[in-house]
Each structure stands twice: as structure tokens, then as C-alpha cells.
A and B are shown apart, each in its own frame.
Chain A
Amino acid sequence: AQSVTQLGSHVSVSEGALVLLRCNYSSSVPPYLFWYVQYPNQGLQLLLKYTSAATLVKGINGFEAEFKKSETSFHLTKPSAHMSDAAEYFCAVSEGFQKLVFGTGTRLLVSP
């Protein structure tokens, strides 16, 4: 069975600092991996996805993630945090057909 582990329910950074949100997955087949962002009182928005093409995936709002099969990881990064990045971020895995399995989420806090 596939699963996702997000390390850290909360991550705090200063504006301009590097953002690193961790995600490790477990899957018996080559996975599809996703990062979603949820702003307060809103639904989920797709940030980026990995579907077995390039291992370094670039998404919206300056975020990117690298698929590392040897580490079963798909960490999300952004070189310089902005106040508007404060939100909750979810990593998700799918073995193909829309049945997304989500991690428990990481709330990103950005301080001035």
C-alpha cells in the first residue's frame, strides 16, 4: 500500500529564507507524486507533480521538488520565502488512477 510521510507539522522560516518541506513516500510501483497548497478557507491547489519524467520538477510560485528514488523522497523547496507562501502544504502519492493518498500536511509560517 502506498503512503506518504511529511516530517514536521509546522515549519517556520523568515521572509527571504530557504523553504524546505519534507516528504517521503512508500509505493510498490513507480509513483506519481504531487505537492498541493491550501490557503486558509480554500480548497487545494496543485503546486507541482512528478510523473516519471524529469526528476527535478518546477511548479508555480517559484517552488520546485526533486524526486529521489534512492531516498524515496520528494522534498519541496523554494529559495526565498515570501509572506504570501504562508499556507498548508500537502504531499500526495498516486499509483496511477486518481486515488491520491495524502500526507498529514505541513503548515508553513513565514515571519517578517
Chain B
Amino acid sequence: NAGVTQTPKFQVLKTGQSMTLQCAQDMNHEYMSWYRQDPGMGLRLIHYSVGAGITDQGEVPNGYNVSRSTTEDFPLRLLSAAPSQTSVYFCASSQTGDESRAFFGQGTRLTVV
């Protein structure tokens, strides 16, 4: 089925470990983004990309890296996980110029102990 696919759905990390959250979309969307969702804080933008090879920082980029080597994929990397990064992460994509049609993945629940 077409849409945004995030893997893994759940992950537990130890402090200091690294990992990559995967996000892939098969709708040929140019715009992709990563959000984190924390209780009482809604969703906050981490990084976004307006096309392959182009990324930019959102509201809360510290501790995260991204790259966009292809249109389909937009991985989010945690180089050295911290307990403050315990959160639910959502990837979204949309066609450039149509912000109302953002598609969200089902989320990755990350716990850092």
C-alpha cells in the first residue's frame, strides 16, 4: 500500500548508543520531515527536506542528523542517544506546494535508558 513506512515501530537503546530510524515513502513526494511527539508538547519539527540532497533544521534539531540521498528515503540518525530523546517519532511526506496533504507514518516509539 502506498504511504509512509517507518521502521522500527519500537526500539530500546542504552545511553550513548547510536541508531537510525528509517522512513520511506512511495508517493514521489518531494517534501519529507521528522517530528517528535512528547506528552503535553504536541509535535515538534526536528529536520525536514524539500528534495533529494537538501535538508534543513527544524525546531529541535540537536542530537539528530538526517540525509536525503534519494527522494524515497529520509533516515533520522541518533549518534549518541540520550534519555531526553525518549519520544515517539513521526515521519511525514507531502507533495511540494500542497502542505495540506501531509501523510504521516505510524510512528517509532523510542526509549533510551
Show the binding face of A for B, using Cβ within 8 Å: 6, 9, 32, 34, 41-46, 49, 51, 90, 94, 96-105
Contact = CB atoms under 8 A, between A and B. Distances in A.
Contact of A42 (B33, B94, B106): B106
A96 B92 CA distance: 16
Q: Main SS of chain A's interface residues?
A: loop
Given A98-B94, A98-B99, A99-B45, A104 B40 contact: yes
Interface residues on B, range: 20 to 34
Nearest to A94: B99
A25 to B, nearest CB: 13
Given A44-B90, A90-B43, A99 B100 contact: no
Contact of B42 (A45, A49, A102): A102
A102 B104 CA distance: 14
Contacts of A102: 35, 42-44
Contacts, number: 57
Q: Which 8 A-B residue pairs are closest in the complex by CB-CB distance?
A: A43-B104, A102-B42, A98-B99, A102-B43, A49-B100, A104-B42, A44-B104, A43-B106
Contact of A34 (B33, B45, B100): B100
Interface of B: 4, 31, 33, 35, 40-45, 48, 58, 90, 92, 94, 96-97, 99-102, 104-107
Nearest to A36: B104
Contacts of A49: 100
Contacts of A41: 106-107
Contacts of A96: 99
A103 B41 CA distance: 7
Contacts of A104: 40-42
Contacts of B102: 46, 98, 100
